[in-house]
Structure 1
Amino acid sequence: MTLLKYNSGLSNLENRSFSNFLDRFFNESFANVNKQVQSFSPQVDVAESKDEFELSVAVPGMKKSDFKIDITDGRLVISGERKFEEKKEEKNFHSVETHYGSFQRSFYLPENIKEDKVEASYEDGILKLVIPKEEKKELKKTIQIK
């Protein structure tokens, strides 16, 4: 049994032709596998509590050494690369939906964070960054009208 991914992006004319569907499936599904340089954008959840910000980046199948995290001038940059590794055993891929290649996500940080206290961990395919806030700085200021 072969499972085919439903693609709602097909126009009505293309939906009518099963032959066109098969052509697109076999011509486009494997085009991404053989590209050496490709990019993708992993999904990121950003949460805030009273004491910290927390970013969770969904990047399964990577190693800790595949990531680079920098903070420069109040900008957090998370980058990395997921490589497609074909093993020696013969396999015929019918579909590859996992994204491979390099990625970079950037976030402007507020002024009230402790840049030197940022912690990162990677577990179960989630890169988690904990960014503590400074207690003294307050970003909200009420301005009195004169």
Structure 2
Amino acid sequence: MALVNYTRPNVDLHSKRFSDILDEFFNESLNYRNDSFMPSVDISETENQFDVSVSLPGMNKEDINVDLDNGHLTISGERKLENEENGKNFHRVESSYGSFSRSFQLPDSIDEESITAKYENGILNITIAKSEEKVKKKIEIS
């Protein structure tokens, strides 16, 4: 799996290093757009598989694409703002909407034919089995 920059949420300013504060400021200001939506992704690994969990609340599974191309797993789609006029005057909209795309480089040790995706209760769960042939073996030293 590829390394992804991690930002610790809700961390007190006094416990941050100055360089962390600058990185956070410039990265967030460059990446911020009003119409951007970036779903949270959790990736875990067991002895036999990788599990990818993507938080996509309020979306239909028809609006989500999962593709595997040359070792890259790409999850994309669009979360749309419903503009129904039912006499509502919005005072605040904090939910994020828009197109998104997240890509991850998968290791060579996966079985590409075993990938499954299930969407339930706003969570997309992707399971990727490891190929038994390609899993690293521990070599005993004599």
Q: Same fold (TM over 0.5)?
A: yes
The answer on 1:134 being equivalent to 2:106 is no
Distance in 1 separating the partners of 2:128 and 2:98: 27
Aligned position for 2:111:
114
How far 1:88 moved relative to its partner? 3.4
Render the CA deviation track for 1:8-38: whole Å, top value 9, x for unaligned.
xxxxxxxxxxxxxxxxxxxxxxxx4xxxxx2
Aligned position for 1:70:
67
For residues 1-146 of structure 1, the aligned pairs below 5 Å read: 32=34, 38-139=35-136
Aligned position for 1:19:
none
Distance in 1 separating the partners of 2:128 and 2:103: 14
Q: CA RMSD in A?
A: 1.9
Q: For the structure 1 residues 137 and 87, does the alpha-carbon distance in structure 2 shift closer, same or farther, using more than 3 Å as the test?
A: same
Q: For the structure 1 residues 55 and 75, does the alpha-carbon distance in structure 2 shift closer, same or farther, using more than 3 Å as the test?
A: same
Distance in 1 separating the partners of 2:137 and 2:79: 40
Distance in 1 separating the partners of 2:124 and 2:38: 14
Distance in 2 separating the partners of 1:92 and 1:139: 58
Structure 1 unpaired stretches of 5+: 1-31, 33-37
- TM-score, structure 2 length as denominator? 0.70
Secondary structure (helix, strand or coil) at the match of 1:116 reads: helix
**Structure with bigger gyration radius:** 1
Distance in 2 separating the partners of 1:118 and 1:138: 16
Aligned residues: 108
Native 8 Å contact 1:111 1:139 kept in 2:
no
Native 8 Å contact 2:114 2:129 kept in 1:
yes
Which amino acid in 1 is paired with 2:77? G
